[in-house]
């Protein structure tokens, strides 16, 4: 017999069905047992009446406890008017069990799956595979799938191509510490995990691909301040022959349509999105990610804004300067002369998208000429040999007719977090790490046996 998904049973009154899933809740009333049975599509009530069951099923029924994985053959019956449950999607029917098979019993789960809001998070993370069975996690991950599917569809319609870039690579300094991967084949040498595909997406533009995007995993070895993860996901995109206006216009359109498509219950405070210069934001709000919601108690309000005209450089706290965003940003054309006279006053052609007080995305128009890029590296205090060693490939690529280009990279975890009204990004990541970067389910990081360390030419201090 073919399996029927539980949600489909509402349309099958009078028919015999075979359903498979988990025991969600068990209630007993004298000789009867009522099981709320759950599968990937929903929950329905299954009634076990001893007289309707074969002998074996009768025995098995007594054993059923929450989270047992079961298979039930039964008949779909319409509920009487009084028994209809309007709070349940399948509340108009119930399944009268004829045969029960226990596919796999379950230990008692270490926490209740019905409402996980008050459950200790470390416990949820250790048993994430159980936590994923909760409605909360399921809904969040389905929303995440809708968001990434929307982005893919939208960008393909706009002529973008989805392009993969390496995970094992060489550093791109964007202000964060990088994860190191020792090379076995080249003793004493290392790959690093990308903080973002920044250089590769720019090199794709030099490669003539014109419109690139990727749902890209990014890795940053930071002390976990606030709501950060060692690995997170960006919608990384880049376009050739565009101005800042083009990038902002495309992204604004994309986010407005995203909200309409995946979260129609939400409303955007103001369109077009307000644009605020970095200088004005600092004066008026004291920060560069103002929360412009009119009613902060409205869970459905989305206040987007653009912050533009960021400074090109900032104090690095050690007497030198660093790139405010990253060193590939194009200086504002009006400020080029200031590079020689007063570089700290130079504005970059860079922009952030802010939503409800969160920085959702950074981006910029990039430098595409060797001389200017080299000058920026010099202003950042890099000696020529280091520039060559770290960025020689970018400088060289720019000498082969590199087109003008620019882009940005919205953080997908944050977008989904806000749309799901969740308090942190761990709630929208299937297998996240703890605040101190541990994976409690797998037990990472972990020690490595000596033989493998030797192969990787590593000696532990
Ligand atoms: N790579 C940048 C970042 O991760 C985004 C960009 O400039 O496109 O912030």
Q: What pLDDT digit, counting tens, does each position of 103-145 carry?
A: 999 999 999 998 899 999 999 999 999 999 999 999 999 999 9
| Domains: count for the chain | 2
Question: Same structural domain for residues 153 and 11?
Answer: no
CA–CA gap between residue 260 and residue 293 (Å, rounded)? 18
| Residue 102 phi, psi dihedral angles, 5° rounding | -90, 110
Query: Ligand 1: distance of its center to the CA of 409 in Å?
Result: 5
Prediction pTM value: 0.95
Find the angle CA(243)-CA(246)-CA(248) to the nearest 5 degrees.
Answer: 110
Do 362 and 329 reside in the same domain of the chain? yes
The protein residue whose alpha carbon is closest to atom 8 in ligand 1 is: 408
Same domain, 34 and 147: no
Ligand 1 centroid to Cα of residue 372, in Å, is 19
Calculate mean pLDDT across residues 281-303: 97
Q: The domain spanning residue 84 has which CATH number? A: 2.40.50.140
Question: Which residues, at least 6 apart from 220, have a Cβ–Cβ distance to it below 8 Å?
Answer: 176, 177, 178, 179, 195, 228, 230, 232
Tell me how far apart the alpha carbons of residues 153 and 235 are, in angstroms, rounded to a whole number. 13
Closest approach atom of ligand 1 to CA 237: 8
Q: Is 275 exposed, middle or buried (0-12, 13-18, 19+ CB in 10 A)?
A: middle
CB of 198 closer than 6 A to ligand 1? yes
Q: Residue of the nearest CA to atom 4 in ligand 1?
A: 196
Burial of 446 (0-12, 13-18, 19+ CB in 10 A): exposed
457 within domain boundaries: no
For a substitution probing ligand 1, which of 169, 196, 358 has the most ligand atoms within 8 Å of its CB? Answer: 196
Contact 23, 72 (CB under 8 A): no
CA–CA separation, 268 vs 354, rounded Å?
Answer: 13
> Would you place residue 171 in the very low, low, confident or very high pLDDT band (cuts 50, 70, 90)?
confident
Three-point CA angle 165, 168, 169, nearest 5°: 80
Whole-angstrom Cα distance, residue 16 to residue 99?
Answer: 11
- At 25, list the tokens: 């809740």
Ligand 1 touching residue 349 (CB < 6 A)? no
Mean per-residue pLDDT, 356-370: 97
Please indicate, yes or no, whether residues 298 and 425 belong to a single structural domain of this protein.
Answer: yes
**What whole-number percentage of the chain has pLDDT above 90?**
94
- 363: Cβ below 6 Å to ligand 1? yes
The answer as to whether 162 is a domain residue is yes
**Domain range enclosing 64:** 6-104
């Amino acid at each position: 017999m073919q399996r029927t998904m539980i949600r489909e049973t509402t349309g099958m009154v009078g028919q015999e069905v075979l359903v498979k899933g988990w025991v969600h809740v068990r209630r007993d009333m004298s000789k009867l047992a009522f099981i709320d049975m759950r599968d990937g599509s929903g929950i329905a009530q299954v009634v076990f009446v001893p007289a309707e069951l074969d002998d074996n099923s009768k025995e098995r029924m007594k054993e059923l406890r929450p989270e047992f994985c079961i298979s039930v053959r039964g008949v779909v019956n319409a509920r009487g008017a009084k028994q209809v449950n309007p709070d349940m999607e399948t509340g108009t029917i119930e399944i009268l069990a004829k045969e029960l098979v226990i596919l796999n019993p379950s230990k008692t789960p270490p926490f209740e799956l019905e409402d996980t809001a008050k459950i200790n998070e470390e416990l949820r993370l250790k048993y994430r595979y159980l936590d994923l069975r909760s409605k909360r996690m399921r809904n969040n991950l389905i929303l995440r799938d809708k968001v990434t599917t929307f982005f893919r569809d939208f960008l393909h319609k706009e002529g973008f191509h989805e392009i993969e870039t390496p995970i094992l690579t060489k550093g791109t300094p964007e202000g964060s510490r990088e994860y190191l991967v020792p090379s076995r084949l080249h003793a004493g040498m290392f790959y690093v995990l990308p903080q973002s595909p920044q250089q590769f997406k720019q090199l794709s533009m030099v490669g003539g691909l014109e419109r690139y995007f990727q749902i890209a995993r990014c890795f940053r070895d930071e002390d976990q301040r606030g709501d950060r993860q060692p690995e997170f996901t960006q919608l990384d995109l880049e376009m050739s022959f565009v101005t800042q206006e083009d990038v902002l216009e495309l992204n604004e359109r994309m986010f407005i349509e995203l909200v309409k498509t995946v979260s129609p219950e939400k409303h955007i405070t103001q369109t077009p999105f307000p644009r605020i210069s970095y200088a004005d934001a600092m004066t008026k709000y004291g920060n560069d990610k103002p929360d412009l919601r009119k009613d902060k108690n409205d869970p459905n309000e989305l206040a987007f804004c653009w912050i533009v005209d960021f400074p090109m450089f900032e104090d690095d706290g050690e007497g030198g300067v660093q790139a405010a965003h990253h060193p590939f940003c194009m200086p504002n054309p009006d400020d080029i002369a200031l590079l020689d006279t007063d570089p700290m006053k130079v504005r970059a052609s860079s922009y952030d998208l802010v939503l409800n007080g969160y920085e959702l995305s950074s981006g910029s128009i990039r430098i595409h000429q060797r001389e200017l890029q080299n000058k920026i590296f010099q202003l950042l205090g890099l000696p020529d040999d280091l520039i060559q060693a770290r960025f020689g490939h970018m400088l060289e690529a720019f000498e082969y007719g590199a087109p003008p280009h620019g882009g940005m990279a919205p953080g997908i975890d944050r977008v989904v977090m806000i749309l799901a009204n969740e308090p942190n990004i761990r709630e929208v990541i299937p297998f996240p790490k703890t605040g101190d970067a541990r994976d409690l389910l797998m037990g990472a990081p972990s020690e490595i046996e000596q033989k493998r360390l030797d192969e990787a030419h590593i000696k532990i201090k």
